[in-house]
């Protein structure tokens, strides 16, 4: 097997750079065939993965946070290469869903374990994602968290971002179709989930599976901001689904329309689309990981 490590050196406040020493130690000690390329700016990881997909390399490893993983994945999706992940970011949520070690040295060791999964892929108006896409308060939190993470590299950046988001956010009126079901809602957020968690371990879809061919759709209906503040900590254990304002659906297709502007948080990147269509592509990529601990 041949490996290419695409490293975002500034991920997790320079954790990516620190990972290089672990890669050289683990791979070098075993005499494995590997190479390391370091990104310089956003977008580099996708371009490097596209180039690597045309070579004889077997495994392309994203070393960074969920944003880096998303770039690498999108660059290699049309190849038959295997995706590996060394979590070096702030949230590392896809790594959690794949039950990867969160310590970088153990994560590098796991890369060579040959534990492979065929994983579903989400498609959002033509854009592909592996973890979670969401609208509403989540998009506001993601924008604020990206600013705060420059100074605080932990799940607390999301808590601070939530507090700021609550001040400026207003609920969204939407029309949502999930397969054959059509609903009109006034919502705080809607999360379209291929995997379990986002935001550094918030289990927004605690029963989601990355290879079942279905999205788990979490809808948080309009509520007072005080109650939402009370609900928020329960998401880390997936206990928010006990609240009457929270609904979980499952489906292969989701369409969302609104007369208001819709910002979407896609694996940490915030974009704008309206209307929005989501489709699931079953077992579209091979990833190093496992389904349970």
Give 3's pLDDT tier (boundaries 50, 70, 90): very high
Identify the bridge partners of residue 36 per DSSP, sorted by sequence position: 5
pLDDT digits over 198-247, tens only? 888 889 999 999 999 999 999 999 999 889 889 988 999 999 999 999 99
pLDDT digits (tens, 9 = 90+) for 243-252: 999 999 999 9
Q: Residue 152: its pLDDT value, please? A: 67
Q: Decide: pTM greater than 0.85.
A: yes
Among residues 165, 205, 208, the alpha carbon closest in space to that of 188 is found at: 165
Q: What are the chain's domains? A: 2-114 (3.40.50.10330), 127-282 (2.60.200.40)
Provide mean pLDDT across the span 270-290: 91
pLDDT of residue 156: 67
pLDDT category, 43, cuts 50, 70, 90? very high
Per-residue HEC secondary structure of the chain comes to: CEEEEEECCCHHHHHHHHHHHHHHHHHHHCCCEEEEEECCCCCHHHHHHHHHCCCCCCEEEEEECHHHHHHHHHHHCCCCCEEEEEECCCCCHHHHHCCCCCCHHHHHHHHCCCCEEEEEEEEECCEEECCEEEEEHHHHHHHHHHHHCCCCCCCHHHHHHHHHHHHHCCCEEEEEEECCEEEEEEEEEEEEECCCCECCCECCCCCCCCCCCCEEEEEEECCCHHHHHHHHHHHHHCHHHHCCCEEEEEECEEEEECCCCCEEEECCEEEECCCEEEEEEEEEEEEECCCCC
**Selection from 112, 110, 62 nearest residue 89 by Cα:** 62
- Residue 268 contacts residue 91 (beta carbons within 8 Å): yes
Q: How far is C-alpha 269 from the geometric centre of its chain's CA atoms?
A: 9
Q: Which residues pair with 34 in a beta bridge?
A: 3
How many beta carbons lie within 10 A of that of residue 164, not counting itself? 16
């Amino acid at each position: 097997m041949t490996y290419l490590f695409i490293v975002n050196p500034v991920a997790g406040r320079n954790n990516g750079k620190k990972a290089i020493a672990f890669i050289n130690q683990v791979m070098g000690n075993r005499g494995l065939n590997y190479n390391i390329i370091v990104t310089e700016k956003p977008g580099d990881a996708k371009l490097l993965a596209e180039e690597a997909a045309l070579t004889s390399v077997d495994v392309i490893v994203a070393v960074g946070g969920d944003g880096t993983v998303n770039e690498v994945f999108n660059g290699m999706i049309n190849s038959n290469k295997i995706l590996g992940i060394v979590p070096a970011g702030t949230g590392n949520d896809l790594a959690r869903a794949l039950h990867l070690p969160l310590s970088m040295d153990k994560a590098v060791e796991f890369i060579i374990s040959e534990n492979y999964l065929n994983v579903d892929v989400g498609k959002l108006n033509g854009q592909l994602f592996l973890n979670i896409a969401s609208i509403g308060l989540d998009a506001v939190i993601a924008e604020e968290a990206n600013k705060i993470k420059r100074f605080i590299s932990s799940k607390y950046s999301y808590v601070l971002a939530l507090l700021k988001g609550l001040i400026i956010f207003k609920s969204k009126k939407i029309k949502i179709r999930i397969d054959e079901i059509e609903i009109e809602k006034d919502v705080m957020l809607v999360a379209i989930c291929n995997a379990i968690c986002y935001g550094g371990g918030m289990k927004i879809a605690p029963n989601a599976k990355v290879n079942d061919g279905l999205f788990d759709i979490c809808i948080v209906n309009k509520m007072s901001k005080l109650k939402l503040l009370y609900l928020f900590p329960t998401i880390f254990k997936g206990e928010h689904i006990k609240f009457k304002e929270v609904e979980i659906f499952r489906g292969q297709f989701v369409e969302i329309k609104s007369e208001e502007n819709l910002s979407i948080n896609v694996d940490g990147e915030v974009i704008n689309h309206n209307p929005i269509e989501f489709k699931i592509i079953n077992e579209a990529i091979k990833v190093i990981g496992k389904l349970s601990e």
